[in-house]
A = this chain, B = another copy of it.
Amino acid sequence: MKIVLIGATGHTKYVVNGLKNNYEDEIIGIAPGSAGEDVTPLYQKLKRDYDIKKYEDYQKMLAELEPDVAAVACHFGDHARIAIDVLKQDIDLFVEKPIATTLADLEKVRNAYQASKSRLAAMFGIRYKPWFLTAYRQIKAGAIGEVRLMNAQKSYRLGEREDFYKKRVSYGGTIPWVGSHAIDWMQWLSGKDFKSVYASHSAKSNHNHGELEASALCHFRFEDDVFGSVNIDYLRPAKAPSHDDDRIRIAGTTGVIEVLKEKVYLINDQIDGIREIPLVAAEEIFADFLADLKGEKTCLISAQESFRVTQAALCARNSADQNKVIEF
């Protein structure tokens, strides 16, 4: 497969890591996706391993290189526009989340996807961490019965972010950028679809990051009276032992499983006390997507889920803006 990168922001490392020990597929081009984006450092790094060309205009790159796959990871407000350009050319699309930063743009991407021959996955790469994969397999194996209640957490260090984080128009909001991972876990782990959302967010204590929300809270109702919360913050101190503190706790009809500090704990009606579950191996999201494109397996993240989670995250952000319940 011939792969190009549009943008050097967000999780371009997923592409790089997904091609490790892969001598079949190659990155052949890179171009900025957003005004002011500097792709040179990533280009210099990739040049060591790939016969890669750098462009200033991604449209020109797509026309000249005719890639099989485009990975889009630029300023978040530009994802949708570029995604549409890629889909119109029937190029398979691996796109940073959120796919779009407005519901109107999301609908345009969805229409472009439906009119194209492209495959698509959004970069919900945290699913592939050993602790989340382990929880997923336990739940699928029936370890907690039917899911009833979920509580997820995304907590990050803020540090000093690039300027595009400071404006809603380029950043999209903390619920879509940070929270959508956790929103994705809930849909994926429960197998339940979203019904409604109520959310809150605040830019207070954001250390001069403009419109960036430093704290947020989402309350989802899913099918079958399943409920789920996501708490999101950029309040993790610089001296904390890690950048992030991802968590989820899922209570089911016969047990409770949780991901806490990169471990998985289970209690249920079979086990005396708490059991720490041995972790399965990590997988690579981009390798999974490529394998799907080659017909070798089905990618863990479907296009339908990618769209639905993005919609849920944008509805949550809108709920927080408007202080009202939004039905799906």
Q: Which residues of A contact B (CB under 8 A)?
A: 146, 148-149, 151, 153, 155, 196, 198, 200, 202, 204-205, 214-217, 219, 221, 224-225, 227-229, 231, 233, 235-241, 249, 251-256, 267-274, 323-325
A202 vs B221: C-alpha distance in the bound complex, in angstroms?
A: 11
Cβ-defined contact, A235 with B251, below 8 A? yes
Cβ-defined contact, B204 with A225, below 8 A? yes
Using CB atoms, name the residue of chain B closest to A199: B219
- Residues on B with C-beta less than 8 A from A323 are 196, 325
28 example contacts (A-B, Cβ-Cβ < 8 A) are as follows A148-B204, A148-B235, A149-B215, A149-B217, A151-B151, A151-B153, A151-B231, A198-B325, A200-B227, A202-B225, A202-B227, A204-B224, A215-B225, A217-B228, A217-B229, A233-B251, A235-B256, A236-B251, A236-B267, A237-B255, A237-B268, A239-B268, A239-B270, A239-B271, A240-B267, A240-B273, A240-B274, A241-B273
A238 vs B149: C-alpha distance in the bound complex, in angstroms?
A: 18
- Residues on B with C-beta less than 8 A from A202 are 148, 225, 227
Question: 5 nearest interchain CB pairs?
Answer: A202-B225, A217-B227, A219-B219, A235-B251, A198-B198
Cβ-defined contact, A273 with B148, below 8 A? no
Given A214-B148, A241-B274, verify A229-B229 contact (CB < 8 Å). yes
Please tell me which one of the listed residues B146, B205, B227 contacts residue A148 in the complex, with CB atoms under 8 A apart. B205
Using CB atoms, name the residue of chain B closest to A323: B325
- Residues on B with C-beta less than 8 A from A153 are 151, 249
A257 vs B317: C-alpha distance in the bound complex, in angstroms?
A: 26
Please tell me which one of the listed residues B148, B151, B253, B273 contacts residue A239 in the complex, with CB atoms under 8 A apart. B273
- Residues on B with C-beta less than 8 A from A240 are 256, 267, 273-274
A253 vs B238: C-alpha distance in the bound complex, in angstroms?
A: 12
CB distance from A266 to the nearest CB of B (A): 10
- Residues on B with C-beta less than 8 A from A155 are 251, 256
CB distance from A157 to the nearest CB of B (A): 11
Please tell me which one of the listed residues B146, B241, B256 contacts residue A237 in the complex, with CB atoms under 8 A apart. B256
Q: Give 17 new A-B contacts, CB below 8 A, not counting A196-B323, A235-B256.
A: A148-B214, A148-B233, A149-B231, A151-B153, A153-B249, A198-B198, A200-B221, A204-B224, A215-B227, A227-B231, A229-B229, A235-B253, A236-B267, A237-B269, A238-B269, A239-B271, A241-B274
A201 vs B221: C-alpha distance in the bound complex, in angstroms?
A: 10
Given A149-B217, A205-B146, A323-B325, verify A254-B229 contact (CB < 8 Å). no
- Residues on B with C-beta less than 8 A from A196 are 323
Given A235-B256, A239-B268, verify A148-B215 contact (CB < 8 Å). yes
Using CB atoms, name the residue of chain B closest to A241: B273
A49 vs B162: C-alpha distance in the bound complex, in angstroms?
A: 69
A231 vs B202: C-alpha distance in the bound complex, in angstroms?
A: 21
- Residues on B with C-beta less than 8 A from A219 are 198, 200, 217, 219, 229
